[in-house]
């Protein structure tokens, strides 16, 4: 064999591999196909690749058959029972079906990035946003950021920026605090430009378009598989116990019976399985463990502000649900009720003063029986109560909204504003 | 500023291989452009340490190299005149002083000052330097050549994590070009190793890393009970992650060495097919375990025999196994789990040897089935040791 032939044998396959990769990224046909069943499955799969990517979001919110509405939230979304929003919407053939965006650890900053990939789905549309005051710890809970971040979100965010706003600059600064962003040569440089209020050059933009092309192809390729059976196992199964016709009084008695049985092992009225697995091993240690918790001062208020700014830009008609904690449990751990309510006051002021008036404030109801499924997650009668807000809101038509964004909520003044010492209305 | 961490992402390979094209063409035509190799190597080393938190490491690397070069140069000239054991011991000690300081710094003692001396790859540079000093003492290295020494210690493909070559072996390739047939063979292997490395590091290791993090989270939920079945998963996922990550990296380093016309030694040889622990150490992180075998174990055995420390040869080798593995444990870092890991393997090798002796004396059945059982047993022993090594137990028991 001649040397030339040997070299061809060595490098030929390499060239072929590059050619194939090039074709895969550049050819104009889509690389994914999600059937209506797969989308339905995705709506309750809580998979992180949904938050990371564009493909599933596009498939869900562009589809004509089912009106999927994004439900932004965190771990409470995964607490299934017969009153879970996805179950009720499916059972009673509502005009909408929730599409769950979130799981344990997804707070505002993650949602903000995720929203960058679904702006058309928010534009003059409706959404539900469930706020957990637990997010509002001093430094925020975005230790999970890296688990839900993707370069595609960042590229979309950069490409979405028309004129750099204070929100963009605030987010740029926050992103640079995340090692996944700051360690990337390309992105760290571009995000730093935004932080400094410096517009991206046209070369930057074309580079980002190319990145977008590659990353979105990759996203498509890996979003064909939905590794979840939640629709069958959680939604359909829970639908079976429900009466054929919707009547909130009847449902209340149905779910009360279910909850009574499912939480009979403990005085906190926590779901038995959760109590056994998560509480029993450390019950003694947890007593009084949350006395010092403080949700009044947190950078999370500004992350939430970024989300609000996004909703305002897209004229999204949003219902906010503010979640309570299980009072029987929080009295045991020593979490201050007063502190909790003051943090809720601060959240509500931030919402209402900017025109976000659609609020289901359930925060004071964590003491009601069977309102909570476990320590901090609503369930059973709590979900049913939430449905009294969600159903009328989503079953009515979209109404254009007029929010007045106040960038002062991005400031450390607001993050550190102590709602126990000052009246929130004094902040401006 | 462009910063390139070795083999970290696809772009690195593009930059690296493009930069190596002129060198490769030269080698194909039987010419080694040493000056070009040096420039490209320095450039890529510079790009590791050129920004952010890496700059400090770059300065540490320069200081380290000045120190080690002076030591080796001085010792080579001393060795021509005399051969006092104590001078050798002190020189060796001085050459491991920097890494010793860094390891002590890692434990928290003078942390801020001592960790300033550390940089990516310090332990591998130390192996190369110490090996050179020992071989100089043996008389197998006679001359000190500054350019060759620097090229050897700072060999760019293997700078950060090995494989650990030997000075004399390296020098066989350093000044001449391989024959064309040999070089074509290198290129063929290089392409295969690069792609196998992609599979290992970017696909398999990536997957196992996620599994590792998942199993850790699941195990952590049981931390208050002091035991979790998930720990088994932690051990296995970490073991496979470590293998595919490190073997993948090693394949890249060897492949890059091949493209540069160097016959870099392999680091892994299907370690999970090992039939016993000794076999395992002949297949796992080979250049490290052979380094320890040649420069610690053999010398320890020799010294102990010469001074008749123990009557029995078995005791001698058993003690040497344990000391050898303990030093390896200490080298990883001064934490209980690295040391226990070293001790575990030391004791494991002693037991392994005892079993092999027993097998020789007695009729123990040997067939395919027992071989499979041996592989299975070895795998599990190794995975258990890696569960210790990964440090999760420290978090699980003491810091949850």
Q: Which of A1-15, A139-153, B119-133, B180-194 is predicted least confidently?
A: A139-153
* Confidence band for B1, pLDDT divided at 50, 70 and 90: low
Model ipTM? 0.83
Query: What is the chain A residue with the closest CA to B213?
Result: A147
pLDDT digits (tens, 9 = 90+) for B339-366: 999 999 999 999 999 999 999 999 899 9
Query: What is the chain A residue with the closest CA to B28?
Result: A3
- Two structure tokens written together for A50: 């949904």
Interface test with A, best of B191, B199, B226 (most A CBs within 10 A): B191
* Confidence band for B32, pLDDT divided at 50, 70 and 90: very high
Q: Do B184 and A14 touch (CB under 8 A)?
A: no
Question: Rounded to whole angstroms, how far apart are CA atoms B243 and B331?
Answer: 19
Question: Does A278 lie at the interface with B, CB-CB under 8 angstroms?
Answer: yes
Q: Do A185 and B3 touch (CB under 8 A)?
A: yes
Question: Rounded to whole angstroms, how far apart are CA atoms A172 and A112?
Answer: 12
Cβ-count burial A24-53 (b if 16+ within 10 Å, e if not): ebeeeeebbebeeebbbbbbbbbbbbbbbb
The CA–CA distances, whole Å, from B89 to B73, B83, B105, B187, B321 equal 16, 11, 23, 42, 21
List of chain B residues whose C-beta atoms are within 8 Å of the C-beta of residue A9: 188
Q: What is the distance in angstroms between the Cα of B213 and the nearest Cα belonging to chain A? A: 11
Q: Do B184 and A7 touch (CB under 8 A)?
A: yes
Task: Give percent above pLDDT 90 in chain B.
Answer: 87
Phi, psi of B136 (to 5 degrees): -65, -40
Question: Rounded to whole angstroms, how far apart are CA atoms A401 and B184?
Answer: 69
Q: Could you say which residues of chain A have pLDDT below 50?
A: none
The CA–CA distances, whole Å, from A145 to A70, A179, B229 equal 20, 10, 28
List of chain B residues whose C-beta atoms are within 8 Å of the C-beta of residue A218: none
Q: Which of B332, B345, B366, B399 is catalytic?
A: B332
In sequence order, the 6+-apart residues with CB closer than 8 A to the CB of B179 are: B30
Vertex A337, ends A336 and A338: CA angle to 5°?
90
In sequence order, the 6+-apart residues with CB closer than 8 A to the CB of B41 are: B151, B154, B155, B156
Residue of B180, B191, B225 lying closest to A14 (CB–CB): B191
Q: Do A10 and B188 touch (CB under 8 A)?
A: yes
Q: What is the distance in angstroms between the Cα of A130 and the nearest Cα belonging to chain B? A: 25
pLDDT of residue B400: 65
CB A52 within 8 A of CB A153: yes
Residue of B187, B191, B225 lying closest to A281 (CB–CB): B225
Question: Rounded to whole angstroms, how far apart are CA atoms B136 and B76?
Answer: 6
Q: What is the distance in angstroms between the Cα of B126 and the nearest Cα belonging to chain A? A: 28
At the topology level, CATH places domain A36-161+228-399 in Rossmann fold (3.40.50)
Q: Is the pTM here over 0.80, yes or no? A: no
Beta strands in A286-425 (DSSP E): 317-322, 359-361
Phi, psi of B162 (to 5 degrees): 80, -165
Query: What is the chain A residue with the closest CA to B188?
Result: A10
Active site annotation includes B332 = yes
Q: What is the distance in angstroms between the Cα of B110 and the nearest Cα belonging to chain A? A: 26
Residue B220: asked if its preceding bond is cis (omega within 30°), the reply is: no
Q: Do A278 and B221 touch (CB under 8 A)?
A: yes
List of chain B residues whose C-beta atoms are within 8 Å of the C-beta of residue A6: 184, 188
Question: Does A289 lie at the interface with B, CB-CB under 8 angstroms?
Answer: no
Question: Rounded to whole angstroms, how far apart are CA atoms A50 and A55?
Answer: 8
CB A374 within 8 A of CB A270: yes
Task: Give percent above pLDDT 70 in chain B.
Answer: 100
Q: Do B184 and A282 touch (CB under 8 A)?
A: no
Other CB atoms within 10 A of residue B285 CB: 24
Question: Rounded to whole angstroms, how far apart are CA atoms A114 and A56?
Answer: 12
Write out the residues of chain B at the interface with chain A, using a CB-CB cutoff of 8 A: 2-3, 180, 184, 187-188, 191, 195, 221-222, 224-225
Domain-wise residue ranges, chain B: 10-174, 186-259, 271-398
List of chain A residues whose C-beta atoms are within 8 Å of the C-beta of residue B195: 17
pLDDT of residue A33: 87
The sign of the CA dihedral A191, A193, A198, A199 is negative
Residue of B2, B184, B195 lying closest to A3 (CB–CB): B184
Q: Which of B114, B122, B143 is nearest to B68 (CA)?
A: B122
Question: Rounded to whole angstroms, how far apart are CA atoms A398 and A393?
Answer: 9
Task: Identify the three-state secondary structure at position B400.
Answer: coil
Question: Rounded to whole angstroms, how far apart are CA atoms A174 and A171?
Answer: 5
Rg of the Cα atoms in chain A: 23
Q: Do A7 and B3 touch (CB under 8 A)?
A: no
Q: Which of A180, A153, A128, A139 is nearest to A48 (CA)?
A: A153
Lay out the sheet containing A68-72: strands in order across: A97-101, A68-72, A126-131, A317-322, A359-361
pLDDT of residue A198: 95
pLDDT digits (tens, 9 = 90+) for B244-293: 999 999 999 999 999 999 999 999 999 999 999 999 999 999 999 999 99
Mean per-residue pLDDT, B171-178: 94
Q: Do A278 and B180 touch (CB under 8 A)?
A: no
Q: Do A9 and B188 touch (CB under 8 A)?
A: yes
Query: What is the chain B residue with the closest CA to A17?
Result: B195
pLDDT of residue A428: 73
Residue by residue, DSSP assigns A91-113 as HTT-S-EEEEE--TT--HHHHHH
List of chain A residues whose C-beta atoms are within 8 Å of the C-beta of residue B187: 7, 10-11
Domain-wise residue ranges, chain A: 36-161+228-399
The sign of the CA dihedral A137, A139, A144, A149 is positive
Q: Do B187 and A7 touch (CB under 8 A)?
A: yes
Residues 334-373 of A with CB under 8 A from B: none
Interface test with B, best of A3, A8, A214 (most B CBs within 10 A): A3
Q: Which of B329, B331, B325, B334 is nearest to B300 (CA)?
A: B325
Task: Identify the three-state secondary structure at position B185.
Answer: helix
List of chain B residues whose C-beta atoms are within 8 Å of the C-beta of residue A281: 222, 224-225
List of chain B residues whose C-beta atoms are within 8 Å of the C-beta of residue A3: 180, 184
Q: Which of A290, A319, A324, A318 is nearest to A132 (CA)?
A: A324
Q: Do A281 and B224 touch (CB under 8 A)?
A: yes
């Amino acid at each position: 064999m001649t040397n030339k032939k040997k070299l061809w044998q060595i490098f030929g396959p390499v060239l072929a591999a590059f050619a194939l990769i090039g074709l895969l990224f550049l050819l104009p046909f889509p690389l994914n196909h999600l059937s209506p069943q797969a989308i339905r499955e995705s709506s309750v799969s809580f998979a992180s690749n949904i938050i990371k990517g564009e493909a599933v979001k596009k498939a869900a919110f562009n589809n004509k058959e089912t009106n999927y509405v994004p439900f932004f939230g965190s771990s409470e979304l995964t607490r299934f029972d017969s009153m879970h929003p996805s179950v009720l919407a499916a059972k009673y053939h509502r005009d909408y079906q929730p599409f769950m965006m979130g799981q344990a650890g997804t707070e505002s900053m993650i949602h903000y990035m995720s929203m960058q990939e679904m702006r058309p789905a928010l534009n003059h549309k409706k959404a539900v946003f469930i706020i957990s005051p637990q997010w509002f710890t001093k430094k925020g809970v975005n230790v999970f950021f890296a688990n839900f971040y993707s370069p595609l979100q960042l590229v979309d965010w950069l490409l979405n920026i028309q004129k750099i706003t204070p929100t963009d600059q605030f987010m740029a600064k926050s992103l640079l605090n995340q090692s996944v962003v700051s360690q990337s040569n390309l992105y760290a440089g571009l995000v730093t430009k935004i932080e400094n209020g410096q517009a991206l050059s046209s070369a930057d933009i074309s580079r980002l378009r190319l990145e977008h092309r590659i990353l979105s192809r990759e996203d498509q390729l890996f979003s064909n598989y939905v590794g979840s059976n939640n629709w069958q196992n959680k939604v359909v199964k829970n639908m079976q116990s429900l009466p054929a016709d919707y009547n909130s009084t009847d449902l209340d008695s149905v779910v009360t019976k279910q909850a009574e049985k499912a939480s009979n092992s403990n005085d906190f009225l926590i779901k038995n399985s959760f109590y056994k697995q998560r509480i029993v091993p450390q019950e003694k240690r947890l007593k009084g463990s949350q006395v010092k918790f403080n949700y009044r001062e947190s950078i999370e208020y500004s992350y939430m502000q970024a989300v609000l700014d996004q909703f305002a830009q897209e004229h999204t008609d949003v219902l906010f649900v503010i979640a309570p904690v299980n009072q029987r449990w929080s009295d045991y751990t020593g979490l201050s009720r007063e502190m909790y309510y003051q943090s809720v006051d601060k959240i509500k002021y931030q919402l209402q003063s900017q025109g976000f008036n659609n609020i289901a404030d359930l925060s004071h109801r964590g003491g009601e029986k069977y309102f909570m499924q476990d320590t901090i997650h609503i369930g059973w009668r709590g979900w049913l109560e939430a449905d009294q807000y969600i159903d009328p809101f989503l079953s009515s038509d979209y109404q254009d909204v007029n929010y007045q964004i106040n960038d002062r909520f991005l400031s450390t003044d607001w993050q550190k504003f102590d709602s126990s010492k000052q009246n929130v209305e004094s902040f401006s | 500023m462009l910063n390139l961490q070795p083999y970290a992402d696809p772009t690195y390979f593009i930059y690296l291989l493009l930069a190596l094209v002129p060198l490769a063409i030269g080698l194909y035509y039987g010419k080694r452009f040493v000056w070009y190799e040096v420039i490209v190597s320095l450039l890529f080393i510079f790009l590791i340490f050129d920004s952010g938190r890496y700059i400090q490491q770059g300065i540490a690397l320069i200081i380290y190299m000045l120190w080690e070069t002076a030591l080796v140069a001085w010792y080579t000239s001393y060795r021509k005149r005399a051969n006092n054991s104590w001078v050798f011991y002190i020189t060796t000690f001085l050459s491991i002083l920097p890494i010793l300081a860094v390891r002590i710094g890692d434990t928290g003692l003078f942390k801020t000052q001592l960790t300033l001396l550390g940089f990516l790859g310090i332990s591998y540079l130390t192996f190369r330097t110490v090996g050179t000093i020992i071989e100089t003492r043996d008389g197998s290295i006679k001359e000190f050549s500054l350019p060759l020494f620097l090229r050897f210690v700072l060999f760019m493909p293997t700078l950060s994590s090995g494989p650990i070559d030997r000075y004399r072996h390296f020098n066989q390739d350093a000044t001449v070009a391989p024959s064309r047939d040999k070089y074509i063979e290198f290129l063929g292997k290089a392409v295969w190793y690069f792609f196998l490395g992609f599979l290992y590091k970017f696909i398999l290791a990536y997957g196992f890393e996620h599994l590792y993090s998942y199993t850790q989270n699941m195990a952590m939920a049981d931390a208050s009970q002091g035991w979790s079945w998930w720990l088994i998963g932690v051990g296995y996922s970490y073991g496979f992650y470590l293998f595919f990550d490190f073997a993948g990296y090693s394949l890249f380093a060897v492949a890059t060495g091949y493209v540069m016309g160097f016959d870099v030694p392999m680091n892994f040889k299907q370690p999970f097919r090992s039939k016993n622990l000794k076999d395992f150490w002949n297949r796992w992180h080979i250049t490290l375990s052979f380094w320890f075998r040649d420069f610690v174990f053999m010398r320890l055995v020799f010294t102990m025999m010469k001074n008749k420390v123990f009557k029995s040869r078995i005791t001698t080798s058993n003690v040497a196994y344990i000391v050898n593995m303990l030093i390896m444990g200490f080298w990883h870092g001064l934490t209980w789990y690295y040391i226990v890991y070293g001790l575990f393997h030391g004791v494991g090798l002693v037991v392994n040897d005892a079993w092999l002796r027993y097998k020789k004396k007695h009729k123990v059945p040997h067939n395919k089935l027992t071989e499979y059982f041996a592989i299975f047993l070895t795998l599990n022993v190794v995975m258990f040791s890696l569960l210790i090594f990964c440090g999760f137990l420290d978090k699980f028991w003491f810091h949850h």
